[in-house]
Structure 1
């Protein structure tokens, strides 16, 4: 009797987006990048982040990738580099897929988090970035992430796979939009993890997998 259960295949007319969070980056840094009126923290990868990037490159080199996208922040480009070398695809920068802007905490978020700043605690309880003074609004963040995904899809034909190297908050927001979950349901995105988004022929999103890390073992 034939096996009724088959391996996953992309549905007719669908496209796959592989979402990769950047590798581990260095701690507090003075490196920044100017994007319009914003000054954004721009740390490079730490030593273990480069090791994670090599693991991602090995894991995805045979995935039949059509395009690679990174954000303006160097940690995504550095994480993509091993895969770029392996497949010979020049990455495209998509500004809209960068991390959420943290307003007054943009250059000190992790220090405040480590110190259990009451605003950070409130942020996680209320599941909104907007409690941070001058932080990017949830509405604006959601809209630009949607725009960024559409930008990536412009180069992706039916049946193809593209890879986006991005950030924890961005990937969490993509997963939220795909599933209709509460705001911070997917905030546990690990460094150099892989998540997979299926964009159906009708344009709807379906989350196939989240936070894969077996390639890092």
Structure 2
């Protein structure tokens, strides 16, 4: 059996962009809100007893802030992987979602229906995002000890895209995937390049009486 390594994909906590209903990718790098910071602390408590060996993160601030409490208590230095960054939204970057909806733009409506066939103007398709995320993780895992767990802080469309690529699904299927803030997806990577989904009670939550210092 080929060697393997597990990866827990984690979406960042609530950011100022989430709270404002705005897209944020390349031109705006908002921090977490107060609620997002609490979500990050809660995530650290949930994963306190998980066998985490490595931590990687998107370069964007909201992802780095989300993983910081866990990195602190586990004494693991996060590795920044540029290709875990949010989907490139092209001309829509920084715009309010409601404004794009109210404009009745055919391009926006088409993207909502099928983000693979109709990427944002000047932006990325959902499967492109998923493939770059999986490629970056594969390259990182090749340098890691086998049978270990890596936590990867990233973004909702990165997780959706990775899932679609693994399942060889169609673009419109993205509309049926919801990744909440600090939502998690556990994957297993084999050194022959194969990815699988894992349904596992990974987290051992300790919500009370837990010292995170």
Q: Same fold per TM (> 0.5)?
A: yes
Change (3 A) 1:109 1:205: farther
- Given that 2:5 and 2:188 are in contact with CA atoms closer than 8 Å, whether structure 1 keeps it comes out as yes
Instruction: Tell me the distance in 1 between the aligned counterparts of 2:15 and 2:162.
Output: 22
Gap regions ≥5 residues in structure 2: 208-213
Instruction: Tell me the distance in 2 between the aligned counterparts of 1:152 and 1:20.
Output: 17
Query: Shift in Å at residue 57 of structure 1?
Result: 0.5
The answer on 1:153 being equivalent to 2:153 is no
Mapping for residues 48-59 of structure 1, pairs under 5 Å: 48-59=35-46
**TM-score, structure 2 length as denominator?**
0.81
CA deviations over 1:165-205 (Å, ceiling 9, x no partner) = 00001011111122112225354111101110011343200
Q: Which residue of 2 is the match for residue 70 of structure 1?
A: 57
Instruction: Tell me the distance in 1 between the aligned counterparts of 2:68 and 2:97.
Output: 26
Instruction: Tell me the distance in 2 between the aligned counterparts of 1:43 and 1:111.
Output: 19
The answer on 1:193 being equivalent to 2:180 is no
Change (3 A) 1:151 1:66: same
The answer on 1:44 being equivalent to 2:31 is yes
* Number of residue pairs the alignment of both structures matches: 200
By percentage of residues, which structure has more strand? 1
2:123 corresponds, among 116, 135, 141, to 135
Instruction: Tell me the distance in 2 between the aligned counterparts of 1:139 and 1:177.
Output: 6
2:112 corresponds, among 124, 129, 134, to 124
Q: Which residue of 2 is the match for residue 3 of structure 1?
A: none
Bigger relative contact order, structure 1 or 2, given CA contacts below 8 A and separation 6+?
Answer: 2
CA deviations over 1:86-112 (Å, ceiling 9, x no partner) = 100000100011111000001115344
Q: Which residue of 2 is the match for residue 20 of structure 1?
A: 10
Instruction: Tell me the distance in 1 between the aligned counterparts of 2:117 and 2:100.
Output: 13
CA RMSD in angstroms comes to 3.1
